[in-house]
Amino acid sequence: MTQRSTLKAVLAAAFLSLAVAFNASAQDRVVPSGDVRLSYAPIVHRVAPAVVNVYAAKVVKNRNPLFDDPIFRRFFGVPGGAGEQVQRSLGSGVIIDPTGLIVTNVHVIEGADEVKVALADKREFEASIVLKDKRSDLAVLRIKDAHERFPSLEFANSDKLEVGDVVLAIGNPFGVGQTVTHGIISALARTQVGITDYQFFIQTDAAINPGNSGGALVDMSGRLVGINTAIFSRSGGSQGVGFAIPANMVRVVVASARGGGHSVKRPWLGAKLQAVSADIADSLGLKRPAGALVASVTRDSPAARAGLKPGDVIIGVDHQEVDDPNAFDYRFATKPLGGTAQFSVLRNGREMAVSVALETAPDTPRDEITIRNRSPFSGATVANLSPALADELQLENATRGVVILDVDNGSYASNLGFQRGDIVESVNNERIAKTRDLQRIASTSQRSWHIVIKRGNQTITAVFNG
């Protein structure tokens, strides 16, 4: 073969290689055509019928407490219904059971005297409140007189979500009607939001606005990954920072409702935890400030029986990392009762495994009473304290006594500054051990009141006259 023939052969091979490379590159790209139609419509058609509008109405007494005094009303002729007005709120909800069980936010139906839900097909039903869990801001409703099977959503495992996953948000923003928006998971395990006791949220940039609360956040399989709850906004509208309660927390609340409970039963640790600061991390020889530091342990609690000690740092629960106490609370609260959870604990620079029993805190009859007699406590709802209630209210080193659960707006108790979580220790030098003790003293005619309450780590003494 001549030199010229050899050169021709080499060039032919080179051109052949370029042609193959060009064709391979061309195959990686698709020219848009009318036959290609990308759409979320199939997912929306499947999940939208399970998202409802929630309408709540309550009667508010916007008047002076003296109007409740029959003698005052008799002499001044004030009608019993004076100053009453109806407040209405709207939000969204998700049907999670074909029998008509619905999940929404507590703040959507808080204090409601009447709750109605409107389905995607415009039909309206009255609903009853099955369970309210203020700690998670989740409420469970049931459609009244339901005689059919309703479309419902399945739960996804929210622990399997990853940043960047595509999601759809469905709800009733501003009351305009059912609306679908899309976005991605912007962040996971947001623990510094300050919305509920359990600070562990999914963050999304799917547009969420007022009225979306209680609506669905779904994945591309049409499963419920979260309940939309709040937004961060400087304008009141969506700015691409929305928060949803993870489906695994929703699942726990729904399970309690399905079991016939009126409150959510969760595991009790029996220890006070605090964040690990940079200084604490340095003093303990930690590589970074992460984990939940055990500050104190309640006697005879699961933590005490497991051998946890002050100074221990919990860094994991069942092989899931714990970055701070809020993350721990979520991980621990979503564990099923019974059995044990395995903690990864750092003690004196060494990692060890600790097995903690998953059991509820001891409870006693709460004997809830709302004080109506004219006294400084008028309008306050009180209950007998127990380890279970102390854990629910996040009260430290308090397991007995009488605690204030709620205070009516505009009541004497509200005007005098009483708050949820205040422990009433004594009234007029008499020790308050039970709610009936407080009710008895509040029903007596007194011109002056000497009251001692405990609020957090403070003991407050107050004197009221008149």
Length of the chain: 466
Name 86's Cβ contacts closer than 8 Å, sequence gap at least 6: 57, 58, 59, 60
Whole-number Å distance between alpha carbons of 347 and 296: 15
Closest by Cα among 98, 101, 103 to 151: 98
Question: What's the one-letter identity of residue 257?
Answer: A
Catalytic residue among 89, 92, 107, 324: 107
Concerning whether 296 is annotated as a catalytic residue, the answer is no
Q: Sign of torsion, CA 186 192 195 201? A: positive
In the residue annotation, 391 being an active-site residue is answered as: no
Whole-angstrom Cα distance, residue 115 to residue 433?
37
Within 8 A by CB and 6+ apart from 348, the residues are none
Nearest to 250 by CA among 106, 99, 103: 103
- Rounded CA separation 88/211 (Å): 12
The catalytic position among 133, 137, 205, 408 is 137
Give the tokens for residue 23.
């064709």
Q: Which of 152, 213, 238, 386 is catalytic?
A: 213
Contact indicator for 131, 256 with CB cutoff of 8 Å? yes
Other C-beta atoms lying within 10 Å of the C-beta of residue 9: 11
For tokens 């007998």, name the residue. Answer: 384
Phi, psi (rounded to 5 degrees) for 226: -175, 165
* CB contact at 8 A, 190 and 243: yes
> What is the rounded distance in angstroms from the CA atom of residue 422 to the CA atom of residue 383?
11
**Integer-rounded Cα radius of gyration of the chain:** 29
Q: What is the C-alpha to C-alpha distance for residues 243 and 186, in angstroms, rounded to an integer? A: 10
Report d(CA 6, CA 313) in Å as an integer. Answer: 75
User: Is position 137 annotated as part of the catalytic site?
Assistant: yes
Q: What are phi and psi of 14, to 5 degrees?
A: -65, -45
Q: Would you name the residues annotated as active-site residues? A: 107, 137, 213
